Structure 1
């Protein structure tokens, strides 16, 4: 059986810079940081990291209340990003066979705020009668993809991926397979995440968060930098329209890029520590599936969470495969680590860089750490023709993902 080709025809984003892809790009162009001190978080005993990159909720009431009642923040973000992605792709669902249109959207878990509120409501007196019926739908692990499907009236494949920071790339990889196998024609793929003190706290207790910049929040996170001290959580959603190539050409769609390679691997060694060797294997296999050699990659959008060990392992893996020849940057210095949404928001940014012929630098990278040296760090805007992108995503649990997009 011959596999079908898969292309990206639409992009939608809700990020800490605001609603829309244009706001994300503008924030990077202007070299801004969306990270700020979080008022009220200091009430949580033991929480050391008090900075994050929140989204200002806008336009949520444009979603009908009947649909919105079952949505937490993350589902609202995804619904808004999905609307933008469909409009960008020029797809009107009223004209589609909705049995051939679906969505695959990942997150680390259900709505963090809704989960917290549920237990705060129920546990003092162990009184389940205080809970309303919509709270479950906000808390369930597939809340985002289910709510987006209900909001849009989709009848095709609806799946949720949950692999921490690799969730969105896993969603894109699943979508890639579903379309090239002919099971679906159009898929909305990506991830969504929301902020809550308990989310940052889960990283805090692992000593993975940035704690030294609470009084100077816009100086963190610092991917690959000598003075990095951990990640900063963000929130939002990135949704991409994946479409079968012949169908996209037939309707004269604008094509951002073709998805040509994907790989996911596990290191099987440690639940929280990254591993260079498994990263190398993951990147190499994705590149080989794309029919490329390492020198055929024009830009690497790194995972680069600004943790001490994670950045070192990723830099060493990139150095082994690519040396200093390929430009490398990441966008977490601008908007923080959006966790389950990171892969798709960051890929959206990379696709806009491909379109514009410019690579935005790694924000807050001022002095490259010695253990992260030897790769092509982008520290100033770089004009470059980009024909191929490698997007990395490396998650707790020892889960790696790498995806290759090629310009047609």
Structure 2
């Protein structure tokens, strides 16, 4: 059975805009979605940087109230992004109830803000103040089941929960469901939201860029010699993944193919990136795609701006591809959108494929000597036919997805 998984629709909610068009225009303009968070001042005692999203209340109200009441912010972001993805794909709504459409959406946690609200209410003896729907908002598969309910999807539902690799693992699972004949269409991607407590978690691990500065948009600087850590962000990226012949038969606009996928774990340290296992993951994904390393045109790196993580990923990329393939990270533009990052950043990968360019890594002023890879510092004219997208997560989780253009 030679079933291929292709992408026919993309939707995003991001710190740089709430549509694929808005996001792409902002990236081309080299804008940043990072800002200071005075609303978190009481928690940190200083203005920490973050990259929040702002959603249109009019769009929110287009989601059925029955579904909306069980949505935390992460699920809401997923729902809004899914609406754009499905609309752009041109799918017939009748497909959703055939049992041949699956929903696979990953998230670090179901809703960090809902979890905080629940814990605060319990600690203050206000449990009765919580809505009956509150528990559904914070469940780890909240994005998946809420999006399935939005569209009436009655096929397979899965929800990878592997921290910052969640979204890319979801897309890998979507590709596998298509290949195995378990589904013809999969609504898939990742979503996450940020709170002061989420940022605190990274601060406790010495991974947060927490310096107060009048230029917070310059704090996220992957691969830079003076990088200080990551900047938290939120958002969602949802893709319509479809079996190739199914897409062709209905005359769909095919954006690119999910040609190969791999995921593994380091198995020895929960927070230290392992360059050997990252490299193994990339090689396995290429083998799964049947693509040689010399045919890769671009790497969309996970690189978040941490000292150890960026260095390990750079070493892995160098080991697999050498130093001639352009590499960039979008965390300087978007911040780290956690479980959404792998899927959300693929919207930009499609833009690069479509326009024959490679986006640079924002805020990369002095390339770290340890990188040893090709890191464009401005827009680069370059045909992108084959791309590797990496996601790397706490717990030693690595994921790589090979995307290629479809002629």
Q: TM-score range by the shorter chain?
A: over 0.9
Aligned-pair CA distance for 1:94: 3.0
For 2:163, what is the secondary structure of its paired residue?
A: coil
Give the structure 1 partner of residue 214 of structure 2. 215
Give me the TM-score of the superposition, normalised by structure 2.
Answer: 0.97
Name which of structure 1's ranges 2-11 and 154-163 shifts more when overlaid on structure 2. Answer: 2-11
Aligned-pair CA distance for 1:366: 1.1
- Given that residues 333 and 362 in structure 2 are in contact (C-alpha distance below 8 angstroms), is that contact kept between their aligned partners in structure 1? yes
Structure 1 residue ranges (4+ consecutive) displaced by more than 4 angstroms after TM superposition? none
Aligned-pair CA distance for 1:93: 1.1
For 1:300, what is the secondary structure of its paired residue?
A: strand
Aligned-pair CA distance for 1:96: 4.9
- Given that residues 52 and 234 in structure 1 are in contact (C-alpha distance below 8 angstroms), is that contact kept between their aligned partners in structure 2? yes
1:380 to 366, 378, 387: 378
Give the structure 2 partner of residue 352 of structure 1. 351
CA separation in 2, counterparts of 1:117 and 1:158? 27
Q: CA RMSD in A?
A: 1.3
- Given that residues 103 and 189 in structure 1 are in contact (C-alpha distance below 8 angstroms), is that contact kept between their aligned partners in structure 2? yes
CA separation in 2, counterparts of 1:95 and 1:153? 10
- Given that residues 49 and 204 in structure 1 are in contact (C-alpha distance below 8 angstroms), is that contact kept between their aligned partners in structure 2? no
Aligned-pair CA distance for 1:64: 2.3
Give the structure 2 partner of residue 52 of structure 1. 50
Task: Give the total of aligned pairs.
Answer: 404
Aligned-pair CA distance for 1:352: 1.5
Give the structure 2 partner of residue 21 of structure 1. 20
CA separation in 2, counterparts of 1:377 and 1:49? 30
For 1:165, what is the secondary structure of its paired residue?
A: helix
CA separation in 2, counterparts of 1:48 and 1:337? 20
CA separation in 2, counterparts of 1:49 and 1:187? 40
In structure 1, the gaps of 5 or more residues are none
Give the structure 1 partner of residue 91 of structure 2. 91
Distance 1:213 1:369, change over 3 A: farther
Matching of residue 140 in structure 1 with residue 158 in structure 2: no
Aligned-pair CA distance for 1:129: 2.8
CA separation in 1, counterparts of 2:49 and 2:60? 25
CA separation in 2, counterparts of 1:107 and 1:299? 26
In structure 2, the gaps of 5 or more residues are none
After the TM superposition, which residues 51-130 of structure 1 pair with which residues of structure 2 at under 5 Å, given as runs? 51-58=49-56, 59-94=59-94, 96-125=96-125, 127-130=126-129
Name which of structure 1's ranges 116-125 and 142-151 shifts more when overlaid on structure 2. Answer: 116-125
Give the structure 2 partner of residue 403 of structure 1. 401
- Given that residues 322 and 375 in structure 1 are in contact (C-alpha distance below 8 angstroms), is that contact kept between their aligned partners in structure 2? no
Give the structure 2 partner of residue 295 of structure 1. 294
Aligned-pair CA distance for 1:49: 7.2
Give the structure 2 partner of residue 233 of structure 1. 232
After superposition, give the CA deviation of every residue in 1:26-63 in whole Å (9 maximum; x if it has no partner).
11111111100001212115x77711000012121221
CA separation in 1, counterparts of 2:127 and 2:181? 45
